[in-house]
Structure 1
Amino acid sequence: MQRYGGISRYFFELTSRLSSNEVADVSIVSPLYINNYLKSEPPYSFVRGRYVPYDFAGVRHMVGLANRFAAPFAWSNMDADIVHETYFTMLPVGKGGRRVVTVYDMIHELFAPKVKRLRMGITKRAAIDRADHIICISETTRRDLIRLYEIDPARTSVVHLGYSLTSASGGAEVQRTKNRPSLLYVGNRGGYKNFRTLLAAFSKSQLLREFELVAFGGPPFAASEHKEIERLGLTGRVRYKSGSDAALAECYRTAVAFVYPSMYEGFGIPPLEAMSHGCPVVCSNAGAIPEVVSDAGVYFDPENAEELCGTLERVAADDGLQTDLRARGYERTTAFSWARCAEDTARIYRKIV
Structure 2
Amino acid sequence: MKVLYDHQAFTGMTYGGVTRYFYELMQAYANRDDIDFELSLQFSNNEYLDKASFSSHRRYGLSHWRNVSRLASAVNRLYSNQRVRIGDYSVFHPTYYHNYFLRNLGNRPLVVTFHDATSERYGKQYPDVGEHLSAAKKIQLARADKIIAVSEFSKQEILRFFPVDEQKIEVIHLGTAFSRQRAHVPVVPGAHPYLLYVGKRGLYKNFDGFFQAIQPVLRQHSDLHLICAGGGVFTNSEKEMIQSSGFDRRVHYRSITDLSLYELYHQAEAFVFPSLNEGFGIPVLEAFSAGCPAILSNRSSLPEVGADAAVYFDPEQADSIASSVDKVLTDSLLRQNMRQKGAQRLTHFSWEKTAAKTQALYKQLS
1:63-103 deviations in Å (ceiling 9; x for gaps) = 21222333333445443211011111133266462111101
For 2:359 and 2:237, locate their aligned partners in 1 and report how far apart those are by CA, in whole Å.
46
For 1:24 and 1:193, locate their aligned partners in 2 and report how far apart those are by CA, in whole Å.
37
1:191-212 deviations in Å (ceiling 9; x for gaps) = 1111112211221223223200
Which residue number in structure 2 is paired with residue 37 of structure 1? 48
Which of 12, 20, 24 is the matching residue for 1:9? Answer: 20
Which residue number in structure 1 is paired with residue 227 of structure 2? 214
Tell whether the 8 Å contact from 1:167 to 1:276 is kept in structure 2 after alignment.
no
For 1:315 and 1:62, locate their aligned partners in 2 and report how far apart those are by CA, in whole Å.
49
Distance 1:256 1:148, change over 3 A: same
Which residue number in structure 2 is paired with residue 299 of structure 1? 312
TM-score if structure 2 supplies the norm length? 0.88
1:28 equivalent to 2:39? Answer yes
Which residue number in structure 1 is paired with residue 208 of structure 2? 196
Tell whether the 8 Å contact from 1:211 to 1:237 is kept in structure 2 after alignment.
yes
Shift of 1:253: 1.0
Tell whether the 8 Å contact from 2:185 to 2:262 is kept in structure 1 after alignment.
no
TM-score if structure 1 supplies the norm length? 0.92
Aligned 1:1-353 pairs, distance under 5 A: 1=11, 2-18=13-29, 23-40=34-51, 44-45=53-54, 47=55, 49-57=56-64, 58=66, 59-92=68-101, 95=105, 97-113=108-124, 118-166=131-179, 168-169=181-182, 178-205=190-217, 206-353=219-366
Tell whether the 8 Å contact from 1:167 to 1:277 is kept in structure 2 after alignment.
no
For 2:184 and 2:307, locate their aligned partners in 1 and report how far apart those are by CA, in whole Å.
20
For 1:79 and 1:20, locate their aligned partners in 2 and report how far apart those are by CA, in whole Å.
20
For 1:53 and 1:343, locate their aligned partners in 2 and report how far apart those are by CA, in whole Å.
33
Unaligned runs of 5+ in 2: 1-10
Shift of 1:31: 2.8
Shift of 1:53: 4.6
Unaligned runs of 5+ in 1: none
Identity %: 33
Give the secondary structure class of the aligned counterpart of 1:258: strand
Letter in 2 for 1:89: H
Distance 1:172 1:70, change over 3 A: closer
Letter in 1 for 2:59: V
1:227-283 deviations in Å (ceiling 9; x for gaps) = 111222222111111121111111111110000011110000111101111110011
Distance 1:13 1:303, change over 3 A: same
Tell whether the 8 Å contact from 1:21 to 1:343 is kept in structure 2 after alignment.
no
State which drifts further: 80-89 or 56-65. 56-65
